Structure 1
Amino acid sequence: MSTRMPVFDLFAPDAFDHPGGEIDGAAVAIGPEGYAVLSFEAATAVLRDTRFRNSALQLMEDFGIADGPVHDFRARSIIMREGAAQLRLRTPLARFMGPAIVQDTRFVLRQIVAEIMQDVDASHAMDFHAAVDRRIPSLVYCHLAGAPSTDAPRVQSLSERTLSLLARDRTLIPSILDAYNELFDYLADLIARKRADGLGEDMLSYLIGLTDAGKLTEQELFDEATSMLEASSVNTAHQTGLVVWTLLSDRAVWQRLREDPSVIPAAVVEATRLYPRTGVLSKIATEDIDVQGTTIPAGSDVHVAVWSANRDPERFNEPTIFDLDRERNQPLTFSTGSHNCLGQGLAKVEMEEVVRHLVENYPESRIVEEDTEIGQVAGRWLVKNLMIELR
Structure 2
Amino acid sequence: MTTTVPAFELFSPQATDHQGGALPDGGIAVGSDGYAVLSYQLSTEVLRNPRFANSALRLMEEFGINDGSVHGFRARSIIMQDGAQQLRLRTPLARFMGPATVQNTRDVLTDIVTGIFNDLDNKPVDFHAGVDRRIPSLVYCHLAGAPQSDAPKVQELSERTLALLARDPSLKPDILAAYDELFRYLNDLMERKRGLGLGDDMLSHLMTLADEGKLTAQELFDEATSMLEASSVNTGHQIGLVVWNLLRNREVWEQIVADPIWIPAAVVEALRLYPRTGVISKIATEDMEVGGITIPAGADVHVAVWSANRDPERFENPGDFVLGRERNQPLTFSTGPHNCLGQGLAKVEIEEVVSHLARQYPQASVVESESAISQTAGRWTIKKLTVDLGPRS
Query: Which ranges in structure 2 are unaligned for 5 or more consecutive residues?
Result: none
State the shift of 1:157 in Å. 0.1
With normalisation by structure 1, the TM-score equals 0.99
For residues 258 and 300 of structure 2, what CA distance do their matches in structure 1 show?
Answer: 47
Partner SS state of residue 326, structure 1: coil
| d(CA) in 2 for partners of 1:261, 1:107 | 17
- Whole-Å Cα distance in 1 between the matches of residues 159 and 227 of structure 2? 13
Aligned to 1:35: 35
- Runs (4+) of structure 1 moved beyond 4 Å? none
Asked whether the 8 Å contact 2:6–2:25 carries over to 1, the reply is no
- Deviation string for 1:163-201 (max 9, x for gaps)? 000001011000000000000000011111111210001
**Identity fraction in percent:** 68
Deviations 1:16-40 (A, max 9, x none): 1111000113110001100000000
**C-alpha distance in 2 between matches for 1:29 and 1:316:** 21
Unmatched runs of 5 consecutive residues or more in structure 1: none
Looking at structure 1, the residues matched to 226 and 285 of structure 2 have their Cα atoms a distance apart, in angstroms, of 24
Amino acid at match of 1:69: S
| 2:230 equivalent in structure 1 | 231
Contact 2:210/2:217, CA 8 A, preserved across alignment: yes
Q: Where do residues 262-273 of structure 1 align in structure 2 (5 Å cutoff)? A: 262-273=261-272
Residue 3 (structure 1) shift:
4.9
Superimposed CA distance per residue, residues 308-338 of structure 1 (whole angstroms, 9 cap, x where no aligned partner): 0000000001000000120000110000000
* 1:243 matched to 2:242: yes
1:318 is matched with which residue?
Answer: 317
* Equivalent residue number for residue 253 of structure 1: 252
Letter in 2 for 1:185: R
Matches of 1:376 and 1:220 in 2, distance apart?
35
Separation (CA, whole Å) in 2 of partners of 1:325 and 1:150: 39
1:47 match: 47
Instruction: Quote the residue 2:172 is aligned against.
Output: 173
- The equivalent residue for 2:97 is 97
Equivalences for residues 1-391 of structure 1 within 5 A: 3-122=3-122, 124-391=123-390
- Aligned mates of 1:60, 1:187 — CA distance in 2: 22
The amino acid across from 1:373 in the alignment is A
Distance 1:205 1:280 in 2: 33
Secondary structure of 1:384 counterpart? strand
**CA apart distance, 1:243:** 0.1
Distance (Å, rounded) in 2 between the aligned partners of 1:107 and 1:370: 35
**2-structure distance, mates of 1:383, 1:2:** 39
- Structure 2 length-normalised TM: 0.98
The CA RMSD measured in Å over matched residues stands at 0.8
Letter in 2 for 1:127: D
Task: Please give the per-residue CA displacement for 1:207-256, whole angstroms capped at 9, x wherever unaligned.
Answer: 00111011000000000000000000000000000000000000000000
Opposite residue 389 of structure 2, the aligned amino acid is L
